[in-house]
Amino acid sequence: MTKQVSRAVIIAAWVVCFALLAIGVAAQQRNRPATGWTSADVLPMTCAQAWLESGKGYAGMLAIVKTEARIALANRDLTFPNTREAGLDAGRGIAEDCKADPDALLFAIVDKHVRRVVEASNGGS
């Protein structure tokens, strides 16, 4: 009887270990930012929601913002300047507006700053 109890305890311990491992893996995947954002995923997000969905990380948030910027550019038939300065300028504006109003629709902010940077690169036209 003692061997059977020992085996049962060992099996139970292994089951608990595997369950904890599975829970840990699921939690990590939930916090990992998605890389393949779709328009349906990102368009309804506020700044705060996007930050949470990004895993509270720069890379994830940048992926969301880039997806929204592509949508804004395509809808307006615009081309974003291919310079580091333009990206930094838009990024600073987006970050400032999101900090000022975390409940704002992120797409509205991204669209605003994409247009601003494109217009400035075209001489304000």
Residues 26 and 6 placed together within one structural domain of the fold: yes
Residues 14 and 61 reside in one and the same domain: no
Asked whether residue 64 falls in the same domain as residue 116, the answer is yes
77 in the same domain as 55: yes
In tens, the pLDDT along 78-111 reads 999 999 999 999 999 999 999 999 999 999 999 9
Instruction: Give yes or no for residue 46 having a pLDDT over 80.
Output: yes
67 and 115 assigned to the same domain: yes
Residues 4, 23: one domain? yes
Together in a domain, 79 and 59: yes
Judge if 22 and 74 occupy the same domain. no
For helices 84-100 and 58-76, give the axis angle rounded to 10 degrees: 100
**From residue 68, how far is each of 27, 37, 115 by CA, in Å?**
27, 9, 12
- Which domain range does residue 74 map to? 35-121
List alpha helices for the chain, DSSP H.
2-31, 39-42, 47-53, 58-76, 84-100, 106-121
Q: Evaluate if pTM is beyond 0.75.
A: no
